[in-house]
Amino acid sequence: MKRPIIEPFRIKVTEPIRVTTGVERQKILEVAHYNLFAVRAEDVIVDLLTDSGTGAMSAEQWAAMMRGDESYAGAKSFFRFEDAVHTLTGVPHVFPTHQGRAAERILCAVSDLTGKVVLSNGLFDTTRANVEAAGARGLDLGRADALTAHASFGGDVDLDAFDRAMREHAGNVALVVMTVTNNTVGGQAVSLENLTLVSQRCRAANVTFVLDACRFAENAYRIKQDEPGQAKKPLSQIAREMFDMCDVFTMSAKKDAIVNMGGILAVRDRALAEKIRVDLIRTEGFPSYGGLAGRDLEAIAQGLHEVLDEAYLEYRFAAARYLGQKLADAGLPVITPVAAHAVYVDAGAALPHLGAHDLPGQSLACAMYLAGGVRTCEIGELMFGADGPKRQLVRFALPRRVYTQSHVDWVGAVAEEVAAVKARLPAMRITTGADVRLRHFIAEMRPEAPFPFG
Ligand code: F0G
């Protein structure tokens, strides 16, 4: 028998899961107005809502937390954090923030964005909201075939579209943001070549190149696996080459630093760093803690080290592929190559009887919950409304080091039950909150007809 790729860790602490009944879940979802963000975590059996802040920390991270220095200024923990970020990225001015969106908000506040445009391979929803709140327009220029080409680097920017946009908006492009991996575009990776070409264009046009680096390790692993000429490089070198491209990076540490809370903002330019320092003190905290406890900084420093372990990344990709295979075997159309942090299902294709306005992604997500307590996240019309990508996706995100193979088998079995009745999944209507930005967090909905369960 072929040996499986195993979880390269043992489990020392456990958290109970309560297995709810279908009747209970029907009631729970009604009370939550069919918004899965309004469901209590204890009422979820397998929680694939997000990979953000939901990972399990290692024994070394917990041990590092005990060394947390909680001094207001100049804490030892800050210097360990700063050293870890320097070693990984080489970017000189490093600021902790309480999470990724705080780094985005501060960057947008200190950059002159009014009336400008921000070009991207795919802005994450909070990044777009921060860009817009600062008076700029975000333009996503991802590959048109990103979700259909089944190519290794579907997260790349479309260089022709990028060049056109740079010409059309010459003198008015405030920032270029490359999101690695490209979360809103099926979690697809971005090639080193694409990052290099975009960064060269930014340097030539004197435009600030920003890396949204929250899943840098997963992106680096894909580069090592799939990009010609990269296989022999250590992952740390590939990661470094990615960071070498940027003038600025923002990072939610809740992803590839494998912590439950934290973010990073880092810049090369001293004058920009000075502006950030002032804003950080006003809004997040003193620059040596930036909204985090000293112990959080310790956990990030250790996590940044652990995440580039090849055995860990091999297992992480294998786990996602395994989930992707289960969902495909169940009969759901899966976006390939399967990303590491999540498997994306094309709900529009799975439920062709529903148009975008019928929210097929939300219908499928609700069905997964009703059938088996599996919580996922719609990424489509509900999340983005009219300005987003035109695909109706459901994201099955995998928390880091949390679920085992049998949990994934459960998800696969539930997906089979859902796929068997997919033609009867109902349209969803928004009853409250349709016009709010980031409406997916708070909107209330109802199904047009009963779900075929129970
Ligand atoms: N950028 C990307 C690509 C993200 O995926 C996220 C968060 C952020 C920025 C913001 O970071 O949450 O620490 O403020 N993504 C989570 C998700 C919420 O579920 O994909 P944050």
For the CA of 99, the closest atom of ligand 1 is 13
Same domain, 74 and 102: yes
Question: Mutation test of ligand 1: which of 48, 255, 265, 341 has the most ligand atoms closer than 8 Å to its C-beta?
Answer: 255
So what's the pLDDT on residue 146? 84
- Partners of 440 in the beta sheet? none
- As a whole number, mean pLDDT of residues 141-166 equals 92
Q: Does 264 have pLDDT greater than 90?
A: yes
Does residue 2 fall inside a structural domain? no
Residues 58-88 pLDDT 10s: 999 999 999 999 999 999 999 999 999 999 9
- For 220, the enclosing helix (H) or strand (E) is helix 216-226
Same domain, 367 and 414: yes
So what's the pLDDT on residue 168? 98
Same domain, 227 and 96: yes
Does residue 16 fall inside a structural domain? no
> Among all chains, which residue has been given the structure tokens 């696969």?
412
Same domain, 251 and 355: no
Whole-angstrom distance between the N-terminal and C-terminal Cα of the chain? 40
Same domain, 81 and 148: yes
Same domain, 343 and 293: no
Q: Which of 159-163, 256-260, 335-339, 417-421 is predicted least confidently?
A: 335-339
Task: Please report, for the chain, how many H helices and E strands are present, in that order.
Answer: 16, 14
So what's the pLDDT on residue 388? 64
Does residue 35 fall inside a structural domain? yes
Q: Write down which residue in 285, 306, 327 finishes a domain.
A: 306
Q: What angle do CA 404, 407, 412 make, to 5 degrees?
A: 125
Same domain, 424 and 338: yes
Tell me how far apart the alpha carbons of residues 8 and 316 are, in angstroms, rounded to a whole number: 10
Take atom 1 of ligand 1 and give the residue whose Cα is closest: 124
So what's the pLDDT on residue 119? 98
Residues 202-257 pLDDT 10s: 999 999 999 999 999 999 999 999 999 999 999 999 999 999 999 999 999 999 99
Same domain, 82 and 209: yes
Closest CA to 441 of 25, 14, 32: 32
Q: How far is the CA of 450 from the centre of ligand 1 (A)?
A: 33
- Partners of 346 in the beta sheet? 393
Q: Does 36 have pLDDT greater than 80?
A: yes
Closest CA to 373 of 16, 53, 36: 36
Question: Which residues are CB-neighbours of 155 under 8 A, at least 6 positions away?
Answer: 121, 122, 142, 146, 179, 180, 181, 182, 185, 186, 187, 188, 189, 190, 219
Question: Which residues are CB-neighbours of 39 under 8 A, at least 6 positions away?
Answer: 28, 29, 32, 369, 375
Give the strand pairing for 117-120 and 173-179. Answer: parallel
Give the pocket of ligand 1 (CB within 6 Å). Answer: 50, 52, 99-101, 124, 126-127, 179, 183, 212, 214, 252, 254, 263
So what's the pLDDT on residue 125? 87
Does residue 12 fall inside a structural domain? no
Residues 360-418 pLDDT 10s: 999 999 999 999 999 999 999 999 887 666 789 999 999 999 999 999 999 999 999 99
So what's the pLDDT on residue 130? 96
Residues 96-143 pLDDT 10s: 999 999 999 999 999 999 999 999 999 998 999 999 999 999 999 999
Number of domains into which the chain is organized: 2
Residues 297-324 pLDDT 10s: 999 999 999 999 999 999 999 999 999 9
Take atom 15 of ligand 1 and give the residue whose Cα is closest: 52
Same domain, 293 and 332: no
Same domain, 88 and 189: yes
Does residue 104 fall inside a structural domain? yes
Q: Write down which residue in 289, 306, 323 finishes a domain.
A: 306
Domain carrying residue 354: 22-51+309-447
Q: Does 351 have pLDDT greater than 70?
A: yes
So what's the pLDDT on residue 389? 65
**Domain harbouring 168, CATH code:** 3.40.640.10
Same domain, 65 and 35: no
Question: Which residues are CB-neighbours of 22 under 8 A, at least 6 positions away?
Answer: 370, 371, 453, 454
Q: Which pTM value belongs to this model? A: 0.96
Where b means 16+ CB within 10 Å and e means fewer, 125-139 reads bbbbbbbbebebbbb
Tell me how far apart the alpha carbons of residues 246 and 238 are, in angstroms, rounded to a whole number: 14
Does residue 15 fall inside a structural domain? no
For the CA of 51, the closest atom of ligand 1 is 19
Does residue 443 fall inside a structural domain? yes
How many other CB atoms are found less than 10 A from the CB of residue 69?
A: 18
Same domain, 337 and 355: yes
**Domain harbouring 361, CATH code:** 3.90.1150.10
Question: Mutation test of ligand 1: which of 140, 211, 214, 440 has the most ligand atoms closer than 8 Å to its C-beta?
Answer: 214
Q: Write down which residue in 290, 306, 322 finishes a domain.
A: 306
Does residue 14 fall inside a structural domain? no
**What's the mean pLDDT when you consider all of the chain?**
96
- Cβ proximity of 209 and 202 under 8 Å: yes
Q: Does 268 have pLDDT greater than 90?
A: yes
- As a whole number, mean pLDDT of residues 166-180 equals 97
Q: Does 437 have pLDDT greater than 80?
A: no
